Amino acid sequence: MTELTAEGILTSATSIDRTFARNDLRSSAVLQRFVAGITDAMHDAGYTQLDAPGPSTNVVLHSIDADAPRPYRRKAAPTFVIAIAELQTIPDDRVELLRVGYPLLVRALANLCVMVSDGPDGLVVRFVTLEQGVYGVGPGLADDQLARRAFARIEPLAASQLVIANDFVTDLPEPLWHGDEQTTQMLRAGRALEALDLLPAPFPIEEILGPRDLRHVELLYGIGGLSYGNVSVRYLGSELRGAPDPDGPVYWMSASGVDKADLRLVGEHILLVRGFDPERETMVLSVPPGVKTRRVSVDAIEHWMIYREHPDVGAILHVHGWIDGTVSTDVNFPCGTLQLAASVADLVRRAPDPSRAVVGLRNHGLTITGHSLDDIFDRFGSAIVPRVPME
């Protein structure tokens, strides 16, 4: 049984051998230079190269044609796919980088898009993440140096482990089928976020992908829907205990892919998280019978870690906004991973008052703890701006 601490879970998740394979659908001199460098860096880091990608491959280097990107349909979410495309020129502007790179990312069904071009001062590499993070390496570096710096940015993401599986247990007591005072607080919070323009719409992937690939992306990453961000509040009743951890936290949390300004329906808009099963890497949820359920937010594991360690935390807010001067995580790990959850939990732990902390998620947004959601908005509602610094 894995020890139910952030450190114990993370140690168990990362103490595995890593494998990678190349899936070269497109080849050019520039792509060969870059992919060869990344391949060497992965060998040096202890990754084992497989002859061909398969269901158990940890990382796939998926070289694509930028004009006609083909998807990589993996069999399981743990396979981290890096789409690599050559562009003649790469835009400098972040908005334009997203406009060019995000369609490549989702059309390739990848976790990360790497755009490469050759300039007078060497290779230029720019990254686009599912969470709309944008950053880069080069020019001005020798190929081997650039490849190692690029791999240093890729490896923490590629080695991270998703926790997005849900186990729905239809045991929610009938008095909670329509929520309680805490869920009413969540509805107020969502509407306050909308009023502050802090519920940005996700990139319109439904305009880029067909129904089959859209379902594939939603299944693998839990993304899609009407707005980013999430809210949760600690459950104060006594009807349910945590499972499989009897002493663990129980909390209400917004579902993935729903309008956060309209959190009304229990089991569809709002879910009761009753525990985390580390053996199955699954969030356990209590729902009413006969409800068409939606999965809980991918950040549920992060909230679970914070609530479990800090009993005085009564609510958590995550927004794609920023407060100047906020200390942030070192790496922009993907949402829904143990590594991001542990990084955020560590910053909360180191805050002067963990029960009222503000921490940043690099290239992504803020996680704010409080005694209640009303407490969080009273403290910071007017200070949050709808922009996140990217680097």
* Average pLDDT per consecutive 10 residues, the chain (391 residues; last block may be shorter): 55 67 89 94 92 88 93 79 93 84 88 92 90 84 93 86 89 94 93 79 67 70 65 90 83 89 93 93 94 91 96 94 88 85 95 96 88 92 75 61
Q: Residue 192 to residues 78, 227, 362: CA-CA distances in angstroms?
A: 36, 14, 24
390 occurs within a structural domain: no
258 and 370 part of one domain: yes
CA 317, 323, 325, 328 dihedral sign is positive
Radius of gyration of the chain (CA): 21
Number of domains in the chain: 2
Distance, CA of 367 to CA of 347 (rounded, Å): 10
Domain with residue 225: its CATH number is: 3.40.225.10
- Among 158, 176, 202, give the residue marking a domain's end: 158
70 occurs within a structural domain: yes
DSSP string, 267-310: TTTEEEEEEEETTTTEEEEE--TT----PBPTTHHHHHHHHHH-
Question: Angle, to 10 degrees, between the axis of helix 29-44 and the axis of helix 143-158?
Answer: 60
108 and 243 part of one domain: no
Note the pLDDT of residue 1.
Answer: 40
Other CB atoms within 10 A of residue 230 CB = 28
24 occurs within a structural domain: yes
Domain with residue 30: its CATH number is: 3.40.50.10300
238 and 105 part of one domain: no
137 and 30 part of one domain: yes
Domain containing 219: what range?
165-380
Which amino acid, residue 334?
Answer: P
Note the pLDDT of residue 177.
Answer: 95
Strands, sheet with 112-119, edge to edge from the N-terminal-most edge strand: 48-49, 19-24, 59-64, 80-86, 112-119, 122-129, 134-137
Cβ partners under 8 Å of residue 221, min gap 6: 77, 111, 130, 162, 164, 298, 334, 335, 336
